[in-house]
């Protein structure tokens, strides 16, 4: 049993100590509840507002030039980044709404760990308002959320990418075609080639429906893109099955490949 006696109170069973604990619980509950109120901005706490108010979106989600195939920020959006030019990625295109950082890292963490459906709507809106996202969705025949492994899905109880995909394109979203066969260990200490190797065999298509991919334009949806190894691994499976075009839409892109979302967000 762990107990934290209030300073000078001897033990937690004393009335002031108990009231202090009750007060703390009420306060934490209020903070959690307030954060979920649709009428309060989760970033600046202004209200009435959407989940993230227009001022905060304008301040923290300004579209910026990005590499069209890996979404890394660039000085100009007209050409691919050096990395993509020297080693063309398995994705034909990639759109990220924001950089992974304040306030979105906290927002995404809350979305993922609390599974608040109203966050899915707000974050999908953020993606939708990013240049090139809407045309990619319109041209897509299939929208596939990055799947979780059965083990991870059991732990979390929901797939955050599926929630996003359903808000982006409910009629095109297919949550059972692309499968994640096993959980991948944290990849932060691995190089690019090793990451891809680590993910080898992680994805597969549902065997009886693999032909549904042939000739299709496919959009993959994920919450955070770090090195891109996970998306590339999924894209490789889709290409092998004959997909005509594979792109990705993500909420946030990390700017430092070292920061792996498997590490920082326990994917
Ligand atoms: Zn705000
Ligand atoms: Zn690039």
Q: Give 88-107 pLDDT, tens digit per residue.
A: 999 999 999 999 999 999 89
For ligand 2, a single-atom ion, the residues with CB < 5 A are 67, 70, 81, 84
- CA 133, CA 96: separation in Å to the nearest integer? 9
Ligand nearest to the CA of 69: 2
- Per cent of the chain over pLDDT 70 is 73
Eight-class DSSP state of 70 = T
- CA 3, CA 16: separation in Å to the nearest integer? 15
What distance in angstroms lies between residue 51's CA and the mean position of ligand 1's atoms?
8
Eight-class DSSP state of 210 = G
Ligand nearest to the CA of 91: 2
What distance in angstroms lies between residue 62's CA and the mean position of ligand 1's atoms?
14
What distance in angstroms lies between residue 244's CA and the mean position of ligand 2's atoms?
20
Helix (H, G, I), strand (E, B) or coil at 87: coil
| Cα Dmax for the chain | 72
Helices (H), the chain: 15-36, 54-60, 82-86, 104-114, 117-128, 133-139, 150-156, 160-168, 192-198, 229-240, 261-264
Task: Calculate the alpha carbon distances from 236 to 93, 125, 186, 215 in Å.
Answer: 14, 28, 20, 14
Backbone angles phi, psi at 264, to 5 degrees: -80, -20
pLDDT of the residue at 136:
97
- CA 172, CA 163: separation in Å to the nearest integer? 13
Q: What is the pLDDT of residues 102-148, one digit of tens each?
A: 999 989 988 887 766 678 988 999 999 999 999 999 999 999 999 99
pTM of the model: 0.80
């Amino acid at each position: 049993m762990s107990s934290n006696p209030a300073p000078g109170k001897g033990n937690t069973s004393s009335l002031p100590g108990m009231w202090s604990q009750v007060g703390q619980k009420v306060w934490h509950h209020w903070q959690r509840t307030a954060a979920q109120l649709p009428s309060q901005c989760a970033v600046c706490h202004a209200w009435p507002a959407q989940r993230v108010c227009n001022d905060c979106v304008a301040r923290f989600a300004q579209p910026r030039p990005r590499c069209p195939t890996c979404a890394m920020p660039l000085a100009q959006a007209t050409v691919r980044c050096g990395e993509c030019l020297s080693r063309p990625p398995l994705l034909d295109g990639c759109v990220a709404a924001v950089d992974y950082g304040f306030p979105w890292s906290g927002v995404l963490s809350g979305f993922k760990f609390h599974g608040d459906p109203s966050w899915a709507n707000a974050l999908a809106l953020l993606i939708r308002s990013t240049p090139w996202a809407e045309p990619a969705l319109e041209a897509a025949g299939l929208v596939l959320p990055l799947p979780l492994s059965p083990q991870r899905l059991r732990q979390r109880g929901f797939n955050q990418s599926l929630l996003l995909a359903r808000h982006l394109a409910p009629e095109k979203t297919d949550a059972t075609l692309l499968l994640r066969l096993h959980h991948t260990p944290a990849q932060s200490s691995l190089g690019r080639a090793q990451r891809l190797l680590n993910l080898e065999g992680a994805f597969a298509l549902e065997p009886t429906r693999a032909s549904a991919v042939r000739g299709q334009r496919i959009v993959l949806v994920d919450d955070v893109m770090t090195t891109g190894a996970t998306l590339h691994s999924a894209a490789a499976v889709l290409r092998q099955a004959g997909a005509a075009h594979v792109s990705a839409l993500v909420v946030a892109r990390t700017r430092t490949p070292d920061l792996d979302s498997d590490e920082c967000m326990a994917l």
